[in-house]
Amino acid sequence: MIGPLIERLKQGHHTNRFPAVVPPLPDRLRGRPTVDAAKCPPGCRVCAEACSMQAIDLATAGPRIDLGKCIFCPDCEAACPAKAIHFGPEYRLATRQRADLSVEEGTIYALGKRLEGELLRLYGRSLKLRVVSAGGCNGCEVDVNVLGTLAWDLGRFGINYVASPRHADGMLLCGPVSRNMELAVQKTWAAIPDPKVCIAVGACAISGGPFAGNPQQLGGASAVVPVDLFIPGCPPHPLTILDGLLRLVGRISEAKA
């Protein structure tokens, strides 16, 4: 009996204090990119050509990065001859609209707003989620799971993962939705009582990610169900996922964005 207690004292207290205090992030974390289009040489297309996800198109204002397709790899930043693209440590990425997952010079990134009306009243203090991996690689899944550990303690916000869709208020989906999971996703969604929310985590669940275009998958959650929150990344950092969830339930106010 004494052994576990002594070890408990040695291990100490590690639950981070987010959102009051943002835990330290690695300096090389590739979070939300910034684009400094003024640096772009005329007619340059290097970043768009370096992007194997075809996430960059060259708008009149310069490169526009679709974070729904982006896997936050180092390719475009490394390829850019003018250092116009930089993936910084900004972890806040979640949006309510697919179209808002866009970064370009001169626009403000529209972080996800909280739920409204009845949904906020019901789920603002308690949100039970059924997690479905639908062709996911277990990357997003592990970083979704990690929020349940004592370092993050997701339960303190009233958010829990539940073991049945019947106990759930919403679905959290990872993966591009493989054809072989389409039916299971539909059935899970149908089994969750109304009103309900769907949260798409990771590039795969938003756009198919690296698998976009493969005929064995459907290109993300939106192909099957309506999505209320998009959390980009490959996989998103746990802090990005938590930030998105807390924005959805109104625990982080828009003012802080």
Partner 1 sequence: MSGPWCELKNAQAVPLAEVPDLPIDALRQAVITAVAAGARLGCWCGDGAGRIVAVMVDDAGGRLLVARAVVGDSYPALTPDCPQAHLFERELAEQYGVVPLGHPWLKPVRFHHRSGAGPDAWGREAGSAIEPGVCDMFRVEGDEVHEVAVGPVHAGVIEPGHFRFQCHGEHVFHLEINLGYQHRGIEQAAIGGPHPRTLYQLEAAAGDTSIGHAWAHCLVLEALGGGTPAPGAQGLRALMLELERLANHTGDLGALAGDVGFLPTASFNGRIRGDWLNMSAVVCGSRLGRGMLCPGGVRFGVDRARADDLLRRLEAAQRDVTGAVELLLGAPSVQARFEHVGVVRAEDAAAAGLVGLARRACGTAVDARRNHAVGAYRGISLLPAVATEGDVNARAQVRWLELRESMRLAEWLVSSHVDEPLRTAIPPPRPDHLAISLIEGWRGPVLHLGLTGADGRLSRYKVVDPSFHNWFGLALALRDEQISDFPLCNKSFNLSYCGVDL
Would you tell me which residues interact with partner 1 (CB under 8 A)?
3-4, 7-8, 10-11, 14, 26-30, 52-53, 71-74, 78, 87, 130-146, 148-151, 161, 163-164, 175-176, 178-181, 183-184, 188, 204, 209-211, 214-217, 234-235, 237-238
Residue (107 or 138) nearer to partner 1, CB: 138
Q: Shortest gap between Cβ of 1 and partner 1 (angstroms)?
A: 11
Residue (5 or 255) nearer to partner 1, CB: 5
**Three-class SS state of 100:** helix
Residue (4 or 42) nearer to partner 1, CB: 4
Give the residue from 213, 136, 141, 134 showing the smallest Cα distance to 181: 134
Residue (126 or 164) nearer to partner 1, CB: 164
Q: Shortest gap between Cβ of 200 and partner 1 (angstroms)?
A: 15
Q: Give the helix/strand (H/E) hosting 3.
A: helix 2-11
Residue (121 or 187) nearer to partner 1, CB: 187
Q: Is 158 exposed, middle or buried (0-12, 13-18, 19+ CB in 10 A)?
A: middle
Could you tell me the two tokens for 223? 């192909």
Give the span between the Cα atoms of 224 and 128, in whole angstroms: 21
Q: How many CB atoms within 10 Å of residue 105? A: 17
Q: Shortest gap between Cβ of 193 and partner 1 (angstroms)?
A: 17
- Contacts with 129 (C-beta within 8 Å, 6 or more apart), sequence order: 159, 160, 161, 162, 168, 169, 170, 171, 172, 199
Q: How many CB atoms within 10 Å of residue 75? A: 16
Residue (88 or 99) nearer to partner 1, CB: 88
Q: Shortest gap between Cβ of 149 and partner 1 (angstroms)?
A: 3
Phi, psi of 37 (to 5 degrees): -65, -20
Q: Shortest gap between Cβ of 211 and partner 1 (angstroms)?
A: 5
Q: Shortest gap between Cβ of 216 and partner 1 (angstroms)?
A: 4
